[in-house]
């Protein structure tokens, strides 16, 4: 069985993205019209709606359609989870990340990184650092490991700032004993 015309069009669409979005969309529309069950075409259309048009509802529609068509289409998980994190839909993102861990070929280090972002958003900094370190262990190139080091440093800086601000806030609060003395 050879490669069909619509599969060739999908490959061309992928090659055009993000450099020639107009041609990419045209090819994707052809692919989806010819084969509405092509998970890759739905995924790429979701990316276009997310990244180029900032239409997150449409992007989510296409990401969900991708998952409906092929639960094992690994690239959709990190893209979809990242979008949900950016939209502060933390619980939804967590569910997508957890589901991804059952997918063959998923990049677990990337998913650990995304979990780290979730915990960082919740200001659970120690857990975030642990997850970034776990992601480093799964990293297979120096760039990714350096990238995780940057995230770890940022979280450590946030922890230090949080501690400093907390001390400052406590310093500026009048103590209860001073209040009692003034009341007497």
Q: What is the pLDDT of residue 176?
A: 58
Q: What is the pLDDT of residue 182?
A: 53
Quickly state the pLDDT bin for 168 (edges 50, 70, 90).
confident
How far apart are alpha carbons 140 and 113 in whole angstroms?
14
Q: DSSP assignment of the chain, as one string?
A: ----HHHHHHHHHHHHTTT-HHHHHHHHHHHHHH-TT-HHHHHHHHHIIIIIS--HHHHHHHHHHHHHH-TT-THHHHHHHHHHHHTT-HHHHHHHHHHHTTSTT--HHHHHHHHHHHHHHTT-HHHHHHHHHHHHHH--SHHHHHHHHHHHHHHHHHHHHHHHHHHHHHHHSPPHHHHHHHH-
pTM above 0.85, yes or no: yes
Count CB neighbours of 63 within 10 A.
27
Domains in the chain, CATH or no CATH each: 1-106 (1.25.40.10), 108-170 (no CATH)
Provide the mean pLDDT of the chain: 93
pLDDT digits (tens, 9 = 90+) for 73-90: 999 999 999 999 999 999
pLDDT digits (tens, 9 = 90+) for 116-135: 999 999 999 999 999 999 99
181 versus 156: the higher-pLDDT residue is: 156
Count CB neighbours of 76 within 10 A.
28
């Amino acid at each position: 069985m050879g490669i069909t015309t619509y599969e060739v069009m999908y490959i061309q669409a992928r090659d055009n993205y993000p450099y020639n979005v107009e041609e990419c969309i045209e090819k994707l529309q052809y692919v989806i019209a010819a084969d509405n069950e092509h998970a890759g075409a739905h995924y790429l259309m979701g990316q276009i709606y997310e990244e180029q048009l900032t239409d997150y509802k449409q992007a989510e529609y296409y990401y969900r359609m991708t998952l409906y068509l092929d639960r094992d289409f690994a690239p959709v998980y990190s893209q979809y989870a990242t979008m949900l994190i950016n939209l502060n839909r933390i619980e939804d993102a967590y569910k997508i990340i957890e589901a991804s861990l059952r997918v063959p070929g998923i990049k677990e280090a990337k998913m650990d990184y995304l979990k780290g972002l979730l915990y960082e958003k919740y200001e659970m900094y120690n857990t975030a650092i642990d997850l970034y370190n776990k992601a480093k262990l799964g990293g297979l190139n120096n760039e990714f490991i350096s990238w995780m080091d940057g995230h770890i440093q940022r979280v450590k800086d946030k922890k230090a700032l949080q501690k400093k601000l907390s001390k400052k806030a406590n310093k500026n609060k009048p103590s209860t004993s001073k209040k009692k003395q003034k009341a007497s």
